Structures are given as structure tokens and as C-alpha cells.
């Protein structure tokens, strides 16, 4: 090979390494922004926008989604955290710091001369074996009265006992069959309100007020009609309305609309929930009939109300049907109550499916959002535990799995082992960060735990963050949902591989709408 060819090859290697280092630095910056929040002694982060509005939180996904990040690799990592939140509802910080460790360690290996392909092979080996080892250590949770659920809620709820009690009570009210339903999101049952008391009740909250204050504030044994539409007369085209025929047709449509609304009182309707707007005529007629009307109800609340009361969601055209048909559309609930202080409408004791609402109180407006995020994390953790079982927390599981992978990599040959080391370092990272956040020396404490796990043959040993002593995480009550751990590990491995495979960064050209290619300039005449 000539000197010129060697120089060109060296230049290409430098460019590839530069791209890896750039991506690694971006990922490391994102990981650093949340690592201080991990564990029971983790601290909060303050996010400030250009207007001076402040959000103070310990929630990893909130930090990541609200922070300003322009680098594409950083945005990739943030998207992984968002996916973790959407899928499991917890574990975003763990996924982020593990991904950051895999990437940074992988780049270090490449800088030492290890080919990227070998690093990725090792990543895949460690990732596959790590998942298998984690799943082998899962303890199922079959009983809704199992005390482990409260411990899971307490850990995910950052030690707030009141929130843990609320979430577990709500889970028992909903029942395991509903909790494990893949289409049900337990965290959606959580609502936080300033000045409210903590409460769990069988029912749903509509975060809207009635369109009129002239209707009764309370109904017992109420019939509930749910309309996924606007409650207004059918309209005709403006051009047709300008004609005499069109004008008369408009009057006729309004009269039919009025007659349809007047049937509702005879059908036993006490309350109407509407997805969109309510026409003034409808408000007047229904108010006169003593029927509570709530407009612009969110889609989620509309469907929860329908499910809880047993109502059949209809369009406005269904109001043309007979009174008997309309009665068949109605849901039933023991009580409807308008809380003027909280500006909400409560529906309790529905005759449809069991539906619980967790109302979390907050003393001031500044902490409402954070209290809600904490309760949602606790609810997600309880649901994940019932679906997929539990594992010991505090990083003890990851450390034990790292030790097993270390033993298994002895059978590998070549440079693949360097990629496996990336996974091992990532698995050690959660405990290292938790211990550091608690004010202890990570190297010392992790050495103590490793020795204790080997000697006792107990993978659940970790560090008590209050005393710094080696303790059994199960006995200490530090318990995590297994799906949180496995999904975080899986997500971290996938994003690390995706970033390490990038060896060139190219800026895309700007695309202009309606741009025309000038063929004459491309093909010479």
C-alpha cells in the first residue's frame, strides 16, 4: 500500500471516529442530565424556559422531553426514553444512563482499535444473555393483596406513602383482570388537584364544568348520554341558505333538532357528555329540562365515562331514533356531582365496568404536576408488576447479571469480548449511580455487594442507601417491576447499537416545496 493510500485510509478512520465521538458526547450529555435523579437519594432538576416559567422535577422522562436538545443522537436517546414511558410508564432514567454507558464505552473500545463490527457483536451477545438472565430471576405477582405491590408503588412513588396507598387501593378496586388488560392504562386513572384531599373512588372525573349553572349540581341514579359529536342542528351550505327554499329547510332542521332534544327528558337523561361544542338552542332546551350538559370533554374522559356507566357512545344523528332506542344508549350511575371548587364533574358508582380514579391532593399549584407524575409512575409500576412480575431493585439485579455475563464471555474468542464489556459496564451503572447519589463510594460498595452476592448465593443483595450496608433488597422493600428492567435494558441496547453503527454524519439539503428540476442544466444539449 502506497503512502497516499495509507494517508487516505487514516483520514477515513479519523472521520468515522470523529462521528462516533460526536454522537457519544451528545448521548453522554443527555445521560448526565438525569443521572443525578436516580435512586431514593436522587435530587431534583429545575427546567426554565425563556419566559422564566419553572418546572422542578425528579422524573427522568419529564426532564428529557422538556430540555432543549438539538443534536440528532441526543434526540434519538430522548425518543427511546419517551418510548419506554409510553410502553411501561417507568424506568426512563435507567434506560437513558445504561444507553449512555454502552455508547461511551463502545466508542472507547473503537478508539483503542477494536472494529465497530466486533463491538456490535459483543453488544448483541451480552444483550441476549442479559435478557435471559433477567427473566430467569422474575418473581410473579398473582395476588392483588400481595404486600409486594405496595413496596413497588412506594419505590416508584419516590417514598410517598400516601400515594402508594392510593394507587394500591385503586388497583384492588379495578381488579386484576382489568389491570392486566393490554388496552388499559392504569396511570390514566390518576388526577392531581390543588387544594384537594387524597381520595380513591369508583368512578371518573370530567375536568370540565357544565355549560349552564342553572342545572342541578347533583343527580342520584342518573341516566348518562355520551355523544361523540357536536350537539347542534344539521347545517346546509351557505349558498343554499341564501335562497328561500334553503332558509325554510334550515328552519325545519332546527325544529327537528329541537324535537329530538325534547325527547331526552322523557328518556330519563340526567346528564349529556359531548365531545365537541353545544349549540345555544341545545343549551337552552336541556337547561330548561334540568339536564346537565358538559361540552368539549376529552376523548379519554368521554370513553372512560361511557365504559364506567355502560353508556353506548353515539353520534348526534342517533337522536332521531325513538325514545326506547335512546333509553338503550344510556349509561347509569349512582351519583353525578358538580364540584364547583375543583371545577369538575364526578360520576361515581357506574353500572358498567369497574373504574377507579386516584385523586392526589397538592397544597400548592407548584407541586401539582410533580405529585401527578409521581402517582402516575407508581400506578404504572403496579400495573407492570401484575403483568410481568417483580425483581430486586437498587441495581442488585443488574450487578448479578453483569457477573454472570462476565463468566459466560470467557467462552468467546477474538475482539467480540470488548463489545460484551460495554454491556457489563452498562449493567453496573445503575447501582454505581444510586450509591453515588446516596453519598457513598461506588467502587467500594459495589465491591462489597459483589463479594456478598457470591458468598451468600443471593442475587438480591444491594446497598441500603440510608446506612450504606449490604442488605437484601426484597427484605428492605426495594422492589421493581420486571418489565421496567427488561424493557429499559432492551431499549438501551438497541439505541446503543444504532448509534455505534453511524460512522458518517451528513447534513441534508433543504427541500423546497414546488421546486422544479431544470433538465437543461443537468443534460447538456
- The domain in which residue 225 lies consists of 203-362
Q: Of 434, 212, 226, 485, which is closest to residue 330 (Cα–Cα)?
A: 226
Q: At what angle do helices 416-437 and 442-456 cross, to 10 degrees?
A: 110
Give the residues across from 219 on adjacent strands. 336
Give the residues across from 272 on adjacent strands. 225, 293
Same domain, 218 and 353: yes
Q: Of 38, 109, 100, which is closest to residue 73 (Cα–Cα)?
A: 100
State the Cα–Cα distance between residues 452 and 441, nearest whole angstrom.
17
State the Cα–Cα distance between residues 525 and 523, nearest whole angstrom.
6
> Which is it for strands 271-274 and 479-481: parallel, antiparallel or unpaired?
unpaired
Same domain, 355 and 416: no
CATH number at residue 229: 3.50.7.10
Longest dimension (CA), the chain: 95
381 in a structural domain? no
Same domain, 212 and 352: yes
State the Cα–Cα distance between residues 76 and 89, nearest whole angstrom.
18
State the Cα–Cα distance between residues 120 and 105, nearest whole angstrom.
12
Same domain, 121 and 238: no
Q: Which residue has the cell 388499559?
A: 184
**Per-residue pLDDT, 244:** 65
Contact yes or no for 229/276 (Cβ under 8 A):
yes
Q: Of 93, 451, 58, which is closest to residue 463 (Cα–Cα)?
A: 451
Contact yes or no for 316/292 (Cβ under 8 A):
no
Same domain, 244 and 354: yes
523 in a structural domain? no
State the Cα–Cα distance between residues 491 and 253, nearest whole angstrom.
56
Give how far Cα 286 sits from Cα of 301, 343, 415, Å.
22, 20, 76
Give the residues across from 81 on adjacent strands. none
Contact yes or no for 38/431 (Cβ under 8 A):
no
309 in a structural domain? yes
State the Cα–Cα distance between residues 129 and 61, nearest whole angstrom.
27
Which of 362, 382, 405 terminates a domain? The answer is 362
Grid cell at residue 333: 350511575
CATH number at residue 408: 1.10.560.10
Q: Of 404, 458, 348, which is closest to residue 133 (Cα–Cα)?
A: 404
341 Cβ contact list (under 8 Å, min separation 6)? 195
Contact yes or no for 380/89 (Cβ under 8 A):
yes
445 Cβ contact list (under 8 Å, min separation 6)? 431, 435, 463, 468
Q: Of 237, 295, 225, which is closest to residue 261 (Cα–Cα)?
A: 225
Same domain, 353 and 424: no
412 in a structural domain? yes
State the Cα–Cα distance between residues 62 and 122, nearest whole angstrom.
32
Counting other chains too, the contacts that 174-179 makes at CB distance below 8 Å and 24 or more residues apart are 174/354, 174/355, 174/356, 175/144, 175/354, 176/144, 176/386, 178/353, 178/354, 179/382, 179/383, 179/386, 179/387
Same domain, 133 and 217: no
Q: How many domains does the chain divide into?
A: 2
144 in a structural domain? no
State the Cα–Cα distance between residues 125 and 406, nearest whole angstrom.
11
Same domain, 236 and 315: yes
Q: Is 391 helix (H, G, I), strand (E, B) or coil?
A: strand
Grid cell at residue 21: 465521538
Give the residues across from 194 on adjacent strands. 362
Contact yes or no for 153/381 (Cβ under 8 A):
yes
Grid cell at residue 492: 438501551
**Per-residue pLDDT, 425:** 94
459 in a structural domain? yes
Give, for 332, the enclosing helix (H) or strand (E): strand 331-339
Contact yes or no for 240/393 (Cβ under 8 A):
no
Same domain, 349 and 208: yes
186 in a structural domain? no
Q: Is 92 helix (H, G, I), strand (E, B) or coil?
A: helix
Contact yes or no for 200/355 (Cβ under 8 A):
no
Same domain, 209 and 278: yes
**Per-residue pLDDT, 43:** 81
Same domain, 399 and 445: yes
Contact yes or no for 90/384 (Cβ under 8 A):
yes
- pLDDT per residue as tens, the chain (525 positions): 443 344 344 444 466 677 778 887 888 888 888 888 888 888 877 878 777 777 777 777 777 777 777 777 778 878 777 777 777 767 788 888 898 899 889 888 888 889 989 999 999 999 899 999 999 999 999 889 999 999 999 999 888 899 999 999 999 988 888 899 888 888 888 888 877 788 888 889 898 999 998 888 999 999 999 999 999 887 766 666 567 666 677 778 788 888 888 889 889 999 999 999 998 988 999 999 999 999 999 998 999 899 999 999 999 889 989 999 999 999 999 999 998 888 889 999 899 887 888 888 887 776 888 888 889 999 999 999 999 999 999 999 999 999 999 998 888 888 999 999 999 999 999 999 999 999 999 999 999 999 999 999 999 999 999 999 999 999 999 999 999 899 889 888 888 888 888 776 666 676 655 555 444 444 443
Same domain, 68 and 117: yes
29 in a structural domain? yes
Nearest 5°: CA angle at 25, between 21 and 29? 170
* pTM reported for the whole predicted model: 0.76
Amino acid at each position: 500500500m502506497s503512502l497516499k493510500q495509507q494517508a487516505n485510509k487514516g483520514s477515513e478512520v479519523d472521520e468515522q471516529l470523529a462521528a462516533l465521538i460526536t454522537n457519544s458526547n451528545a448521548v453522554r450529555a443527555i445521560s448526565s442530565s438525569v443521572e443525578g435523579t436516580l435512586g431514593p437519594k436522587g435530587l431534583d432538576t429545575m427546567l426554565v424556559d425563556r419566559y422564566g416559567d419553572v418546572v422542578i422535577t425528579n422524573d427522568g422522562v419529564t426532564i428529557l422531553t422538556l430540555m432543549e436538545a438539538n443534536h440528532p443522537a441526543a434526540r434519538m436517546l430522548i425518543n427511546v426514553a419517551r418510548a419506554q414511558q409510553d410502553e411501561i410508564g417507568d424506568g426512563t432514567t435507567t434506560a437513558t444512563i445504561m444507553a449512555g454507558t454502552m455508547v461511551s464505552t463502545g466508542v472507547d473500545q473503537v478508539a483503542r482499535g477494536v472494529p465497530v463490527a466486533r463491538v456490535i457483536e459483543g453488544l448483541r451477545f451480552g444483550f441476549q444473555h442479559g435478557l435471559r438472565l433477567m427473566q430467569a430471576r422474575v418473581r410473579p405477582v398473582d395476588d392483588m393483596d400481595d404486600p409486594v405491590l405496595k413496596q413497588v408503588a412506594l419505590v416508584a412513588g419516590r417514598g410517598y406513602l400516601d400515594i402508594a396507598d392510593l394507587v394500591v387501593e385503586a388497583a384492588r378496586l379495578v381488579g386484576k383482570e382489568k389491570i392486566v388488560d393490554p388496552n388499559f392504562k392504569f396511570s390514566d386513572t390518576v388526577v392531581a388537584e390543588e387544594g384537594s384531599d387524597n381520595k380513591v373512588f369508583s368512578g371518573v372525573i370530567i375536568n370540565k364544568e357544565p355549560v349552564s349553572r342553572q342545572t342541578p349540581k347533583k343527580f342520584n341514579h342518573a341516566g348518562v348520554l355520551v355523544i361523540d359529536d357536536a350537539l347542534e342542528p344539521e347545517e346546509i351550505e351557505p349558498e343554499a341558505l341564501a335562497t328561500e327554499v334553503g332558509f325554510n329547510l334550515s328552519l325545519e332542521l332546527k325544529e327537528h333538532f329541537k324535537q329530538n332534544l325534547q325527547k331526552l327528558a322523557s328518556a330519563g337523561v340526567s346528564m349529556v357528555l359531548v365531545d365537541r361544542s353545544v349549540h345555544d338552542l341545545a343549551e337552552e332546551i336541556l337547561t330548561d329540562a334540568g339536564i346537565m350538559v358538559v361540552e368539549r370533554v376529552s376523548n379519554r374522559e368521554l370513553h372512560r365515562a361511557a365504559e364506567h356507566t355502560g353508556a353506548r357512545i353515539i353520534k348526534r344523528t342517533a337522536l332521531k331514533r325513538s325514545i326506547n332506542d335512546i333509553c338503550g344508549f344510556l349509561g347509569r350511575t349512582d351519583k353525578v356531582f358538580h364540584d364547583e371548587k375543583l371545577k369538575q364533574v364526578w360520576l361515581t358508582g357506574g353500572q358498567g365496568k369497574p373504574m377507579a380514579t386516584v385523586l392526589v391532593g397538592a397544597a400548592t399549584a407548584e407541586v401539582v404536576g410533580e405529585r401527578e407524575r409521581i402517582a402516575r409512575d407508581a400506578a404504572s409500576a403496579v400495573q407492570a408488576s401484575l403483568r410481568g412480575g417483580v425483581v430486586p431493585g437498587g441495581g442488585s439485579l443488574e450487578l448479578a447479571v453483569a457477573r454472570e455475563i462476565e463468566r459466560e464471555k470467557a467462552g468467546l474468542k477474538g475482539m467480540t469480548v470488548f463489545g460484551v464489556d460495554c454491556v457489563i459496564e452498562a449493567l453496573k451503572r445503575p447501582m454505581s449511580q444510586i450509591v453515588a447519589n446516596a453519598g457513598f463510594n461506588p467502587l467500594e460498595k459495589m465491591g462489597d455487594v459483589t463479594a456478598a452476592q457470591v458468598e451468600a448465593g443471593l442475587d438480591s443483595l444491594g446497598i441500603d442507601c440510608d446506612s450504606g450496608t449490604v442488605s437484601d433488597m426484597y427484605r428492605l422493600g426495594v422492589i421493581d417491576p420486571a418489565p421496567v428492567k427488561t424493557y429499559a435494558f432492551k431499549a438501551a441496547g438497541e439505541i446503543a447499537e444504532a448509534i455505534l453503527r453511524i460512522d458518517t454524519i451528513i447534513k441534508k439539503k433543504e427541500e423546497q416545496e414546488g421546486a422544479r428540476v431544470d433538465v437543461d442544466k443537468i443534460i447538456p444539449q
